[in-house]
A and B are shown apart, each in its own frame.
Chain A
Amino acid sequence: MNAGVVIFPGSNCDRDTYWALSHTGLNVSYLWHEDSELGDVDFVILPGGFSYGDYLRTGAFARFSPVMRAVSDFAGKGGIVLGICNGFQILQEAGLLPGAMLPNKSLRFICDWTYISIENRNSPFTSNIRDGNVLKIPIAHFEGNFFCDDENLERIESNGQVVFRYSDESGDVILSRNPNGSLNNIAGISNERGNVLGMMPHPERASEEILGSDDGKRIFKSVAEWLTGNS
């Protein structure tokens, strides 16, 4: 199975993401922001970083790049897309995921470990994570405070689109473990169909035991197994 990591001007997690994905049995390649075709990929990843300098709004300009038209088409056909951190913000700006990110409540850039509970196990990103319901994965962002209006929040919740929530290490979703003020402790959401996921925590930074956790790798592995099982 083939995974493609998109590089935008200002992406800075592309290499880590490539590294982590290549250790899950996937064939990984880079996709360039000016590419208007994705080629033979089964899984597209928008990595973290500061695409286009975060000018205007985070992710605002990346959505106009040629590659994003191709990513939208790919997602529309049910292709698996993961946006990590800035990648999540880009997917929101592109209208592939609901809501928007506000600055963290503390107005500080937060770089720290978080625990996230798995809230939806029917997702390609989680369905093959068999043991445990909590993942230890770090965040690194200034704008991760998920926001949408009440009506959309209700829709997202009732559709089971919330895939990850900030929690404590035992999986209890409590306000004191909400790092950034995001609504309902939301750390990751999918689209209605479930094939597009955005998450603020960085799974690629938790893909080696020596770095403190390899829980992030379990998300990539889940997708790899899901793709193999559905091919």
Chain B
Amino acid sequence: MSKLSSQGIKMMKYRIEIVVRRKSGVADPEGNTINDALRRLGHNEVSSVRVAKLFDIFVKSDDAFKARDAAVKIAQEVLVNPVIENFEILDIEEVQ
């Protein structure tokens, strides 16, 4: 729901979808276990599995670019440990 801020700027709400993945080369024992199980079940088409974390961050902002910038900062500051992880913004949508 958009509404006016105290300065009279129209504020929107955005849902920003951020995925945090382990960097390539960083072991993923959980992914390996799932991979092994899938192959045991006969899914021989599966070659590997990587587990990742998905965040939906809801941000109030007057435009989508600012909302995105805020999300990038949040990801860098909190969501990701840069030693082992990286992130990608998958989607931004305006929500009610």
Contact = CB atoms under 8 A, between A and B. Distances in A.
Interface of A: 56-57, 60, 92-93, 98-100, 102-107, 145, 147-149, 181
A159 to B, nearest CB: 17
A107 B37 CA distance: 14
Would you list the 9 A-B pairs with minimal beta carbon distance, nearest first? A100-B83, A100-B84, A107-B29, A100-B81, A57-B81, A103-B29, A105-B29, A102-B27, A147-B84
A145 B27 contact: yes
B76 interface: no
Contacts of B33: 107
Given A56-B78, A60-B78, A148 B29 contact: no
Interface of B: 25-27, 29-30, 33, 78-79, 81, 83-84
A106 B30 CA distance: 9
B78 A147 contact: no
A60 B81 contact: yes
Nearest to A64: B78
7 contacts: A100-B83, A100-B84, A103-B29, A105-B27, A106-B29, A147-B26, A181-B29
Nearest to B83: A100
A102 B78 contact: no
A147 B79 CA distance: 18
Given A56-B78, A60-B78, A99 B83 contact: yes
- Residue of B26, B29, B79 with most chain A CB atoms under a 10 A cut-off: B29
A103 B26 CA distance: 11
Given A60-B78, A102-B29, A147-B26, 12 more contacts: A56-B79, A57-B81, A60-B81, A98-B83, A99-B83, A100-B84, A102-B27, A102-B84, A103-B29, A147-B84, A148-B83, A149-B83
A98 B30 CA distance: 24
A147 B27 contact: yes
Contacts of A98: 83
Main secondary structure of the interface of A (DSSP, over half): loop
B30 A147 contact: no
B78 A103 contact: no
A206 to B, nearest CB: 28
B30 A107 contact: yes
A146 to B, nearest CB: 11
A107 B79 CA distance: 22
A5 B29 CA distance: 33
Contacts of B78: 56, 60
B81 A93 contact: yes
B83 A103 contact: no
B13 to A, nearest CB: 23
